[in-house]
Homo-oligomer: A and B are copies of this chain.
Amino acid sequence: MAIERETVENLLKLTKPRWKTSITKVEPNRIITRGYPQEDLIGNISFPEMVYLLLKGELPHENESKMLEAVLVSFCDHGVTPPSTQVARIMASSGAPLNSCVSGGISSFGKYHAGALERSMCLLQKIIKENVDFNNPKTSHNDLKNLALTTVEHYLENAKKIPGFGHRFHHKDPRPGKLIETAKKNGCFGIHTELAVIVENLLLEMKGIRMNIDGANAGILSDMGFDWRFGTGIFMIGRVPALISHIHEEKSDETPFRKFVEVEDVYFHEFDSVNHDLNKNEL
């Protein structure tokens, strides 16, 4: 029995591809990522080059590859002080499998933790984009200083922290200096990083506050052409190995299900719907 073309075409509509991607083409016995067969990439490109290829769609220049490597290395670890590491270890202690613990760590990156990189990139990119004419980009140091001053004053007047500056554990974070030196060496010190440095100079003079790792990497990644929306992702790539290491340490060296909180550590108070300020909760 024959069926009409129209019917068939209607049936075919159901089979139209549900998935579309430009990242990797998979065929039997062939896996092509961003145009390169994977067997040509393995053993030939560095891991940061692969990261760049995946995120930006093309391979980086050698200096960019070295710079991205330094950025990823700089995010490595901060001991057990970050909430994400505490979360990963508490989960490990309760017997959750490795992937759950890493996921917990990654999901802990919120507005306040790890979010600073993204917010710092967003701020720098916005200031430069709105104020610098890239057809005529000879912005003088003085222009940048004015932009920096306006920004700093705006934040200070509103009693808000500038993302990328100040650190709750370090008066002078030891990482930004080395990152900026590496950026200069690899030709990745551009207008965004310069702006960040000027902001630091102002803040240091006015409030004794210095640049932190997020501020330095925000400038550098922006100068490398990474949209701010990639900030948290790049931080994650750099931090995941340490999360794994902490989870293994907790599982190997500690007693399972140890008490992180004793009854005596907890202060119980009556619920007070008046002082319970849900509006602080932005969700």
Distance A87 CA – B96 CA, assembled complex (angstroms): 12
- Cα(A164)–Cα(B200), bound, Å: 47
A151 lies within 8 A of chain B by Cβ: no
Query: What distance in Å separates the Cβ of A24 from its nearest Cβ neighbour in chain B?
Result: 4
> Of A29-37, A131-139, A141-149, which stretch is located at the interface?
A29-37
- For A257, list chain B residues within 8 Å (CB): 83, 112-113, 168
Shortest Cβ gap from A89 to chain B (Å) = 8
Instruction: Report whether A23 and B246 are in contact in the complex, using a CB–CB cutoff of 8 Å.
Output: yes
Q: What B residues does A91 contact at CB under 8 A? A: 83, 87, 104, 107-108, 110
B3, B22, B233: the one contacting A269 at CB < 8 Å is: B22
A74 / chain B contacts, CB cutoff of 8 Å: 38, 42
Copies in the complex: 4
CB within 8 Å of B: which A49-100 residues: 50-51, 54-57, 66, 69-70, 72-74, 76-81, 83-84, 86-87, 90-91, 93-100
Supposing A54-B76, A87-B91, A96-B108 touch, asked if A236 and B244 sit within 8 A by C-beta, the answer is yes
Chain A residues with CB under 8 Å of chain B are 1-5, 7-8, 11-12, 14-15, 17-31, 33-35, 37-39, 41-43, 45-48, 50-51, 54-57, 66, 69-70, 72-74, 76-81, 83-84, 86-87, 90-91, 93-104, 106-115, 118, 168-175, 177-179, 181-182, 185, 227, 229-230, 232-233, 236-238, 240-242, 244-249, 251-254, 256-257, 259-273, 275-278, 280-283
